Amino acid sequence: MTAPVIVWIAASRAEVPADRATAIASAHAAIARQDYAAAIALLESARAAQPQDPEILRLLGSAYAYSQRYPEAIATLTRAEALAPGDLDIKASLARAYLWSGDHAAARREVAAIRASDPDNADARQIDAQIESAAAAPRPGRLGVAIAESPSRVDLAGGGDRTWSTTTLSVFGKVAPGTTLSLQAEREDRQIAIDTRLEARIDQRFGGGLSGHVAIAGTPNADFRERFGIAAGIEARLTSRLTLLADVRHADYGDATATAFEPGFRFTLPPAGTSLTARMINLWDESGTHRTGVTGRLDKEFAGGVTLYAGAATYPDTEAGVTRQVDAGFAGGAFPLSTRVTLRAGVDYERRRASYTRKGASLGLQFKF
């Protein structure tokens, strides 16, 4: 190597900002300890400062993929590949993102491109084996069914107690890329009356961290549930840690109506897989009076897909056309039994002021086909 070349390389390395090197090192450490939210936050800041840096984009795309944010991962890694088409590490990261997203054909194309440059590439061999393993493994299909039973013990404010039960049956499935349709029937038996509420809901992912849903519901011959209801909501991811939430719903009880608006946020906490959700509940009751409440929930995902949650709330709620303040607490979890079957269980407490106190539990199974 000639002296001028050595001088040029040294000068080029000297021009690399120290904060870039620090951000990359810190991101590597965060990924190693599986704190992907922290890695994403670091790398998004680094990308804002240096948007044409392929290494920053490669690491950011990989962190998105680890967080199962596959559209963002693929878009970021595709940009990195365009900036550095000969970088085999970027191609390997993109192949893994395609693989984890379920696009095996695209993953194979990236592996073939790696092998065209390096036939004995170790990453290519490993990814090929993972593709074959994923293709052979049983995978959940586009459709699913869930059933749950929820018994409750109820103490009436005027004296006496009762046993209530709720049976829920849901059918859901993907009807288009990013679009899920779900149908639900909920039969609630309060001994003196039985209501069966029917609901149809569409969830849509728009990309860029934006998603939303719309639902309509009705209860034929309703006694205490709404006769007709409509709801809609959106989620907008602002940063790797912060997502804004907004939901609106309207219920018609025949001789009374109630409308609610629920803004809130979800904040991702370290370690990875932990999130806090908080909402403010604004309700305009049957007399048009504005009432408010709050609810909070903590979720934690563990290895193997097990998820636990717990929360509490105090809020106004309308039932049988009458609005009362409710104090509530709840906890539960989801426990995958296989790739197709998930067990869901929970407990909850509800005190509806000047009406009743309810203590309940729920147990259900979800099947994917």
| Separation of alpha carbons 193 and 154, rounded Å | 14
Average pLDDT over residues 129-139: 76
Mean pLDDT of the 242-265 span: 96
Q: Which pLDDT does position 95 carry in this prediction?
A: 93
pLDDT higher at 175 or 258: 258
Task: Give yes or no for residue 205 having a pLDDT over 70.
Answer: yes
Fold of 143-368: Porin (2.40.160)
Q: Which of 54-68, 135-149, 311-325 is least confident?
A: 135-149
Number of H helices, E strands in the chain: 8, 14
Least confident of 120-129, 163-172, 182-191, 341-350: 120-129
3-136 belongs to which homologous superfamily? Tetratricopeptide repeat domain (1.25.40.10)
- Report cis status (omega within 30 of 0) of the bond before 119: no
B/e letters for 69-95, b = 16+ CB within 10 Å, e = fewer, are: bbbbbbbbbebbbebbeeebbbbbbbb
Residue 12, pLDDT above cutoff 50: no
Q: Band the pLDDT of 139: cuts 50, 70, 90.
A: low
Q: Is the pLDDT of residue 19 over 90?
A: no
Please, which pLDDT band fits residue 172 given cuts at 50, 70 and 90? very high
| Residues in contact with 278: Cβ distance below 8 Å, sequence separation at least 6, in sequence order | 264, 265, 267, 294, 295, 296, 297
Q: Which residue from 60, 368, 87 is spatially nearest to 240, judged by alpha carbons?
A: 60
Report the pLDDT value the prediction gives residue 239, as an integer from 0 to 100: 78
What is this structure's pTM?
0.70
Checking if the pLDDT of 9 tops 60, the result is no
Percentage of the residues of the chain whose pLDDT score is greater than 70 = 92
What pLDDT is stored for residue 213 in this prediction? Answer: 98
Backbone angles phi, psi at 257, to 5 degrees: -130, 160
Confidence of residue 138 (pLDDT cuts 50, 70, 90): low
**What is the average pLDDT across 239-266?**
94
The encoded tokens of residue 29 equal: 């450490």
Token pair, residue 313, equals 């709330």
304-324 per-position pLDDT tens digit: 779 999 999 999 999 999 999
Are 61 and 43 contacting, i.e. CB atoms less than 8 angstroms apart?
Answer: no
Average pLDDT over every residue of 297-306: 86
Cβ atoms of 238 and 215 within 8 Å: the answer is: no
Residue type, 106: A
pLDDT at 270 over 60: yes
Cα–Cα distance, 349 to 358 (Å, whole number)? 6
Residue pLDDT, tens place only, 210-222: 899 999 999 999 9
Question: What percent of the chain is predicted at pLDDT more than 90?
Answer: 65
More confident residue, 313 or 67: 313
Q: Mean pLDDT, the chain, as a whole number?
A: 89
What integer pLDDT is reported at residue 313 of this predicted model? 98
Q: What is the mean pLDDT of residues 11-21?
A: 52
Q: Which of 101-115, 127-141, 177-191, 278-292 has the lowest mean pLDDT?
A: 127-141
Contact between 291 and 285 (Cβ < 8 Å): yes
Residue 186 has pLDDT above 80, yes or no: yes
Question: Would residue 46 be called left, alpha or beta, if left means φ above 0 and alpha means ψ between -120 and 50 degrees?
Answer: alpha
Q: What's the pLDDT at 369?
A: 86
- For CATH 2.40.160.40, the residue range(s) in the chain are 143-368
Residue 3 confidence (pLDDT) above 70 = no
Q: Is the pLDDT confidence value at 77 over 50?
A: yes
pLDDT interval class at 96 (50, 70, 90): very high
Q: Is 369 exposed, middle or buried (0-12, 13-18, 19+ CB in 10 A)?
A: exposed
The pLDDT of residue 211 = 92
DSSP three-state, residue 239: coil
Domain with CATH 1.25.40.10 in the chain: 3-136
What pLDDT shows up at residue 132?
87
